[in-house]
């Protein structure tokens, strides 16, 4: 709980919280603490963090602004990573009974599905909106190879983020509403399987993706092991709803490959557990090295496989 107190100080001082990644930060701190201990402090922290995230919601466009000063035309956009931030809002509704959190999460989720995911089930990293009208403008990249390429980790965020959010979203039929033909029987978007297929089709021989799918074994570049760990977690979450065929078996193969070929188990000196990750290749940051999210999702996938009763922190 010592770290929980430090995260409370961060909230009270609003220390580097002008971004949407509050969901990442507080789901894996206060959210994890609440899952394990039912701590009142963790409950309060989830609600406080959710309020900070809610403040970034843009009514014009119906989305949570990712970065920058609110309303800045240069930053009036969402990004695909934000799918993993939304469970914080769903949990805030569960704790408080206040439906505003869930409503904002659902609005952002639906906006993202309509914009960031292309018609061919590939993904943009970011998507801009007109700040005056809220109308969708255009997709672009931030960490991918180009605006039109497929950033590997972005595709992974979709594979994990959709089942995480669907685990909170009630099927409309349960409420007596008319069936939404854009959804699968599991309640997932119809193109979820295609999103997974895009990722699998673009994997190289050793299954660990290059940081962007512009690259392959014939035109190689640096690998991003974290993208495979994230995808494995997504498949294991999707498997709960039978949303993708043989999801568990695929995830097992991915984690086995990471453990055998990409883990630091044979390294004498290393700062991480999962080797050959990428942070922001275009900016020259964190290339071919371990990273926090790679290590985390590798362990989450291992926990999901080792203990089917494990309660996720999201």
DSSP 146: S
Residue 265 has a pLDDT of: 85
Residue 97 lies in a domain: no
Model pTM score: 0.94
Catalytic residue among 18, 38, 51, 81: 81
Structural domain includes residue 23: no
Reading the chain (314 residues) residue by residue, the pLDDT tens digits are 777 888 888 888 888 888 889 999 999 999 999 999 989 999 999 999 999 999 999 999 999 999 999 999 999 999 999 999 999 999 999 999 999 999 999 999 999 999 999 999 999 999 999 999 999 999 999 999 999 999 999 999 999 999 999 999 753 334 333 445 454 445 689 899 999 999 999 999 999 999 999 999 999 999 999 999 999 999 999 999 999 999 999 999 999 999 999 999 877 667 899 999 999 999 999 999 999 999 999 999 999 999 989 999 99
Q: What CATH number corresponds to the domain at position 204? A: 1.50.10.10
Residue 27, CB-side half-sphere exposure with 13 Å CA sphere: 22
Q: Per the domain annotation, does 121 fall within a domain?
A: no
Instruction: Identify whether 81 is a catalytic site residue.
Output: yes
Output the CA–CA distances (angstroms, integers) from residue 218 to 167, 204, 221, 257, 277, in the order listed. Answer: 39, 9, 10, 21, 20
By residue range, what is the domain housing residue 305? 155-171+183-314
Is 26 a member of any domain? no
Instruction: Tell me the β-bridge partners of 9.
Output: none
Q: Which of 18, 21, 130, 222 is catalytic?
A: 21
Question: What distance in Å separates the CA atoms of residue 301 and residue 28, rounded to the nearest whole number?
Answer: 15
- The predicted pLDDT at position 186 comes to 54
- The DSSP call for residue 136 is E
DSSP of 230-299: HHHHHHHHHHTTT-STTHHHHHHHHHHHIIIIIBSTT-SS-S-SB-SEEEEGGGTEEEEE--HHHHHHHH
pLDDT of residue 172: 38
Residue 264 resides in a domain: yes
- What tokens does 25 get? 């930060």
Within a domain: 54: no
Whether 21 sits among the annotated catalytic residues: the reply is yes
Residue 41, domain member (yes or no): no
Whole-angstrom CA distances from 256 to 31, 34, 68, 206, 208 are 28, 30, 39, 11, 11
Query: Is residue 300 in a domain?
Result: yes
Question: DSSP strand E in 157-225: where?
Answer: none
Domain count, the chain: 1
């Amino acid at each position: 709980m010592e770290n929980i107190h430090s995260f409370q100080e961060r909230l009270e001082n609003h220390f580097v919280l002008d971004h949407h990644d509050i969901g990442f930060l507080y789901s894996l701190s206060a959210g994890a603490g609440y899952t394990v201990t039912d701590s009142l402090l963790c409950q309060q922290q989830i609600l406080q963090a959710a309020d900070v995230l809610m403040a970034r919601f843009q009514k014009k466009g119906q989305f949570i602004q990712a970065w920058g000063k609110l309303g800045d035309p240069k930053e009036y956009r969402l990004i695909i990573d934000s799918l993993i931030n939304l469970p914080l809002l769903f949990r805030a509704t569960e704790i408080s009974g206040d439906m505003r959190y869930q409503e904002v999460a659902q609005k952002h989720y639906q906006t993202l599905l309509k914009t960031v995911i292309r018609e061919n089930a590939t993904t943009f990293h970011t998507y801009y909106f007109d700040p005056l009208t809220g109308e969708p403008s255009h997709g672009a990249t931030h960490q991918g190879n180009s605006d039109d390429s497929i950033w590997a980790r972005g595709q992974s965020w979709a594979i994990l983020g959709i089942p995480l959010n669907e685990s909170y979203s009630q099927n409309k039929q349960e409420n007596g509403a008319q069936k939404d033909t854009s959804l699968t029987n599991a309640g997932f978007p119809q193109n979820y399987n295609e999103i997974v297929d895009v990722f699998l089709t673009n994997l190289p021989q050793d299954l660990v993706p290059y940081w962007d799918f512009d690259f392959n074994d014939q035109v190689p570049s640096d690998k991003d092991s974290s993208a495979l760990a994230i995808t494995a977690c997504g498949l294991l979450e999707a498997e709960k709803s039978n949303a993708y065929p043989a999801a568990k078996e695929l995830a097992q193969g991915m984690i086995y490959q990471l453990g055998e070929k990409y883990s630091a188990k044979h390294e004498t000196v290393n700062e991480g557990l999962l080797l050959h990750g990428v942070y922001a290749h275009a900016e020259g940051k964190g290339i071919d090295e371990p990273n926090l999210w790679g290590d985390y999702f590798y362990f989450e996938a291992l926990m999901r496989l080792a203990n089917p009763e494990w309660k996720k922190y999201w």
